[in-house]
Chain A
Amino acid sequence: MTDRPNLFSEFAAGIIKNNPVFCLVLGICPTLAVTTSFENGLGMGLAFTFVLLGSNVFISLLRNQTPPIVRLPIFIVIIATFVTIIDIVLQAYLPPLYEALGIFVPLIVVNCIVIGRAEAYASKNSVLPSIADALGISVGYILVLMLIGGIRELLGTGKITFVMLWLLENGQIGFLELATLHIPIEPATIMILPPGAFFTIGSLMFLFKFMGKKMSERRG
């Protein structure tokens, strides 16, 4: 353990340099499907975080026992186990979110980001860096989901409600409303419908690439 990777740089890499949506272009399906509002984006992101963290830890712990030939089925079973856990938990404690996310909770199992990180990172590194990597990627993913969800909610309904997952007064876990922002424009329903998702992510990806190019020009 002489060449110890810097945990914070592993964490930070996931947010910008390895951003799952804009740079790696993985996990697009849930990014577009559930981001009709800020709240759904945050909920999906948190469910995803749980699965990625759990699978990265377990795959990293088992990396010396996993025969390379059958590694993919093993990864899939580990990921599917965590997906089943979060599926049941959401059904029991957050029924409204469970309804809104629909089949995209079980579909985290085929989210390319999770299996991609398992293959590219967790199966080669020890537990602590894997946790840092999982957290970094998850934060990057949650930020993108909240951004797209926020833009679509704002333009599609004319208002945006910021929420936070918190213990509510009745003792249950739920979304706590922090603030609601209204903008005085005519809401464009198309932004809530599927085409709005494609246009939003297309424009954001263009901006991201454009800024990246500008930055690298300035540096070099």
Chain B
Amino acid sequence: MPALLPTENLLELLISGVFTKNFLLIYFLGLCSFLGLTKDMGSSIGMSMAVTFVTGMAAVITWPIFNFILVPLGLEFLQTICFILVIAAFVQLVEFIIRKHQPALYRSLGIYLPLITTNCAVLGVVLLNAQQNYSYVGSIVYGISAGLGYGLVMLLAAGIRGKLLQRGVDMFGGFTGAFLVAGLLSLIFVNYFGVIQF
């Protein structure tokens, strides 16, 4: 069983989550929300905050479930069903709590929360954590850094696409434009591949 305290280099995990193994541009996780929401800055910020929170909390919740329940019972093959149900239930719970106690935050974040259940970035983080056998602290750090990397690219792309629209450059329009912006950003991020060699 992996340890509770970090056995891996946390800085390396953080940098790999944000830059070298960026979730959107290198792993291609969470592209649906990328295509749909980078049309304006406000929604990108809201979605990035919500995703970072949920990926972090999903790592907190699923690590004990996987290592204390599924592994001792030899039920690792149930991880997909188990994780998706936990994430769906958690997202629903967060939605209720925020709606009751933080109405202002709910209005700005609310509509994005249900979308997160089907965001592959969240399930991706949880599955990668289980696959890589990260320690408890390590998996939480990895979850948060994945969310931060997602947010970074969302904001960059929203800025670029907003600027293009403002200048009236709508030659390809819609999704084609979004893919080309993503491709150019991805070209930058691919060059981070060899940067850290711990």
Contact = CB atoms under 8 A, between A and B. Distances in A.
A171 interface: no
Contact of B81 (A77, A193, A201, A206): A77
Given A83-B80, A202-B176, A32 B123 contact: no
Dominant secondary structure of chain B at its interface with chain A: helix
B118 A77 contact: no
Given A80-B80, A201-B179, 17 more contacts: A25-B175, A28-B31, A29-B31, A29-B32, A33-B28, A80-B85, A81-B81, A103-B128, A106-B79, A106-B127, A109-B80, A112-B118, A194-B28, A198-B180, A202-B176, A205-B176, A206-B172
B26 A205 contact: no
B84 interface: yes
A153 B192 CA distance: 23
Contacts of A209: 176
A115 B26 contact: no
Interface residues of A, number: 38
B96 interface: no
Given A28-B31, A206-B176, A194 B81 contact: no
**Count class of interface residues, chain B:** 35 or more
B20 to A, nearest CB: 12
Contacts of A29: 28-32, 120
Contact of B180 (A32, A107, A194, A199): A199
B186 A198 contact: yes
A70 to B, nearest CB: 11
Interface in A55-111: 72-73, 76-77, 80-81, 83-84, 87-88, 103, 106-107, 109-111
Residue of B88, B124, B184 most packed against chain A (CB within 10 A): B124
Dominant secondary structure of chain A at its interface with chain B: helix
B27 A106 contact: no
A205 B123 contact: no
B187 A76 contact: no
Contacts of A30: 28
A25 B120 CA distance: 15
B67 interface: no
B180 A202 contact: yes
Nearest to B22: A194
B80 A84 contact: yes
Residue of A25, A83, A198 most packed against chain B (CB within 10 A): A198
B127 A84 contact: no
A106 B94 CA distance: 25
A54 B63 CA distance: 30
A197 interface: yes
Contacts of A109: 80, 84, 123
A195 interface: yes
Contact of A32 (B28, B79, B81, B85): B28
